[in-house]
Amino acid sequence: MQVPILKQGAYLIATVQSALTDEDLKQLRDTLVLQVSKVRARGVIVDVTALDVIDSFATRTLRDVAYMIRLRGAETVIVGIQPEVAFSMVKLGLTLEGVATSLDLEEGLAYLDRKAKAHEREVRAHR
Amino acid sequence: MSGSQDVATVTQARLETTASRLRELVAHLRHQRAQLREEWARLITEAKLLTAMTKEEIFAEATSVYDNYVEALETGTYEALQAYARNLSERIIPRGVETHEVVGIVLLLRDVLARSLFATYHEDFNKLNRILDAYEPAANRIAATVAVGFVQERERIIREQQEAIRELSTPVLQVRERLLILPIIGVIDPQRARQLTEQLLRGIRTNRAKVVVLDITGVPYIDSPVANHLVQTVEAARLLGATVIVTGLSPEIAQTLVNIGVDLGKMNTVGDLQGGIEEAERLLGYKVVLMQESVAQSA
Amino acid sequence: MRVPIDCDSDVVAARQKGRELASQCGFPSTDMAVVATAISELARNIVRYAVRGEIILRLVQNNGKRGIEVVAADDGPGIPDVGLAMQDGYSTSGGLGLGLPGTRRLMDDFEITSDFGKGTKVTVRRWRR
Ligand SMILES: Nc1ncnc2c1ncn2[C@@H]1O[C@H](COP(=O)(O)OP(=O)(O)OP(=O)(O)O)[C@@H](O)[C@H]1O
Ligand SMILES: [Mg+2]
């Protein structure tokens, strides 16, 4: 199952369409990391609204995506985690610590914009 | 071989006579309908059953039950009676009719009918016995059908009410765009904790909330499983993209949280509800202007 | 219902079957997600550590309570120290080590038997409230 990745301005948006196998998840991770460098994206949104299960492997992969992308100087935000899914994740012990989360695509974009503005201010202050 | 055939024939014969006796019985009850129904309604009032209902209402229901009763005897099927019992229960339960009253009226009807059978057949004792043999199991089954229908309906209503009360006990208030407040009052048992989590998480999605103030000023204490559950709810809310601010944490509850290993420094806690709302508004990007200041400025 | 497990996509198939069964049994959506997540963890452990095995899904009843039972069984290498494997964060594959202990937290009943060299069987149940 391929996850379509769209470029919108300085951001990449990956929208998961249906359940993903571990192989699919790894492929998503690798493609995103590659693409971020290639198009010099400033932010990545992974929309997981369609996922009805986010288990330990999926969480670890999403976390890895966020960490690897941060190393490339960009921000990642996971959007659309469903209430039931969030509850199961937390019971399992998965908290996605250190990874930004937003309600939906719109909120995710707003989050990345805020981050970008804060970053600009910082850069200016250091000059 | 022939022996088992005999048994079959005898059973067959017995079934036929039972059926014919029931037919005779049904004819009798139809014939006496007006009188028996009247007597039954009178006995109900005398026994002080269904006191929540007027005489006319009792008579109307008695008529329906009577007809359904006779029909069940005739057809041997109980679905119609069952459906009627449910419907009747649905109507009378909200008026405070109790289980013993419903069982009472069905038993009264059984007696009224049995007495009428005695009166009609008392001269032919054998026939009376055979008719009663056919009547009794059917009558018992009818009584059970009605009573069970009532009890089931009652349980369903009670379940619904409990559900409604539980939902009321954790109101989700939207005070302004993107901000929810959940004031919790009273003890949180595991069931309520589960409900709270569901309402909070669903509320975040449906209201597109960014900040939730969970006010537990009104919660006297929590045990560690519930404390754990609360912490997990806060974490789950973050996964949805919302921040939970906990207000009104008593020293006892704070201690419980520390005991289960919660890092209070990592949790967003604010002393009281007012402070919590101010913190929420700050997170949402609203400027909080103190009343005095704005008055002073405009002056 | 038996679901053979020997590759990645079987893990997805098994949790979808579990979700369907939970829905037929009248479980609320929260529990459907819980059951599906538990199945996902157990099925993945089979693929990763035992190569192949199966997931058995059943509706169960106890004192009028209805529930769903998931059995994950394999003839793989087994777990040398079950107590250790049940600890949060213990993993021999660089995973988060949350699959088994997390599944225990998700479900109401949890039983595990593992014979070193012979295989592993995990039985979990979730009851309807
Ligand atoms: N079916 C199995 N057969 C053999 N060993 C197993 C099996 N299931 C689990 N184990 C062992 O138990 C350890 C703990 O399993 P657990 O599922 O808790 O964590 P994990 O699989 O390592 O990581 P995670 O599930 O968080 O991605 C595994 O690392 C593995 O060594
Ligand atoms: Mg695992």
Give me the CATH number covering residue C88.
3.30.565.10
Cα angle: B260, vertex B219, B263; to 5 degrees: 25
Based on the domain organization, do B16 and B149 belong to the same domain? yes
Pocket, ligand 1, Cβ cutoff 6 A: A 56-57; C 41, 45-46, 49-50, 74, 76-79, 85, 90-93, 95-101, 120
Q: Taking CB atoms and an 8 Å cutoff, what residues of chain C touch A53?
A: 15, 33, 36-37, 40
Q: Which atom of ligand 1 is nearest to the CA of C119?
A: 3
- Residue B233, pLDDT above cutoff 50: yes
Find the C65 Cα to ligand 2 centroid distance in Å. Answer: 29
- Residue B263, pLDDT above cutoff 60: yes
Q: Is residue B168 part of a domain?
A: no
Based on the domain organization, do B188 and B82 belong to the same domain? no
Find the C91 Cα to ligand 1 centroid distance in Å. Answer: 6
pLDDT band at B126 (very low <50, low <70, confident <90, very high): confident
C76 CB within 8 Å of a chain A CB = no
Find residue B245's DSSP bridge partners. Answer: B213
Strand bridging mode A5-8 / A11-15: antiparallel
CATH code of B150's domain: 1.10.490.70
> What does the block give as tokens for C55?
């997931």
Q: How many domains does chain B have?
A: 2
Q: Looking at chain A, which subunits does it touch, using at least 3 CB pairs closer than 8 Å as the criterion? A: B, C
Based on the domain organization, do B131 and B241 belong to the same domain? no
Q: What is the mean predicted confidence (pLDDT) over C87-109?
A: 95
Q: Is residue B167 part of a domain?
A: no
Q: Taking CB atoms and an 8 Å cutoff, what residues of chain C touch B194?
A: 129
> What does the block give as tokens for C49?
């550590």
Whether B198 sits inside 8 A of C30 (CB atoms) is: yes
Domain boundary at B161, B184, B214, which?
A: B161
Q: What confidence score (pLDDT) does residue B288 get?
A: 52
- Residue B297, pLDDT above cutoff 90: no
**How far apart, in Å, are the Cα atoms of C78 and each of A8, C49, C85?**
49, 8, 11
**How far apart, in Å, are the Cα atoms of B290 and each of B112, B179, B273, C54, C86?**
79, 20, 17, 65, 54
- Give the domain range for residue C98: 2-127
Find the C95 Cα to ligand 1 centroid distance in Å. Answer: 8
Based on the domain organization, do B68 and B140 belong to the same domain? yes
Q: Is residue B166 part of a domain?
A: no
pLDDT band at C39 (very low <50, low <70, confident <90, very high): very high
Whether A83 sits inside 8 A of B241 (CB atoms) is: no
Q: Closest-CA residue in chain A for B199? A: A83
Tens-place pLDDT, residues C109-123:
999 999 988 999 999
Based on the domain organization, do B31 and B110 belong to the same domain? yes
Q: Is residue B22 part of a domain?
A: yes
Whether A96 sits inside 8 A of B239 (CB atoms) is: yes
Q: What is the mean predicted confidence (pLDDT) over A64-74?
A: 95
Domain boundary at B141, B161, B181, which?
A: B161
> What does the block give as tokens for B112?
């009224």
CB-count burial class (<10 Å; 0-12, 13-18, 19+) for C65: exposed
Whether C129 sits inside 8 A of B198 (CB atoms) is: no
- Give the domain range for residue B237: 173-298
Query: Domains plus CATH for chain A?
Result: 5-126 (3.30.750.24)
- Residue B11, pLDDT above cutoff 70: no
- Shortest CB distance from C98 goes to which of A52, A53, A56? A56
What gap in Å lies between CA C34 and CA C29, rounded to an integer?
A: 9
What gap in Å lies between CA A85 and CA B69, rounded to an integer?
A: 52
Tens-place pLDDT, residues B24-71:
889 999 999 999 999 999 999 998 888 888 888 889 988 988 998 888
Q: Is residue B272 part of a domain?
A: yes
Cα angle: A105, vertex A108, A110; to 5 degrees: 115
Based on the domain organization, do B88 and B6 belong to the same domain? yes
ipTM, two decimals: 0.94
pLDDT band at B294 (very low <50, low <70, confident <90, very high): very low
Q: What is the mean predicted confidence (pLDDT) over C50-73?
A: 92
> What does the block give as tokens for B254?
């704070």
CATH code of B236's domain: 3.30.750.24
Q: How many domains does chain C have?
A: 1
- Residue C93, pLDDT above cutoff 90: yes
Positions of E strands within B123-221: 173-176, 179-185, 211-218
Query: How far is A19 from chain C, CA to nearest CA, in Å?
Result: 7
pTM of the full structure: 0.72
Find the C96 Cα to ligand 1 centroid distance in Å. Answer: 9
> How far, in whole angstroms, is CA B297 from its chain's centroid?
58
Based on the domain organization, do B144 and B196 belong to the same domain? no
Based on the domain organization, do B38 and B103 belong to the same domain? yes
Handedness of CA A22, A27, A30, A36 (dihedral sign): negative
Based on the domain organization, do B209 and B131 belong to the same domain? no
Q: Is residue B116 part of a domain?
A: yes
Q: Is residue B110 part of a domain?
A: yes
Residue nearest to atom 27 of ligand 1 (CA): C95
Domain boundary at B161, B193, B210, which?
A: B161
> What does the block give as tokens for B96?
């405070």
- Shortest CB distance from C37 goes to which of A22, A60, A88? A88
Of B7 and B269, the structure prediction assigns the larger pLDDT to B269
Q: Which of A1, A20, A55 would best serve as a mutation to test chain C binding (most C beta carbons within 10 A)?
A: A55
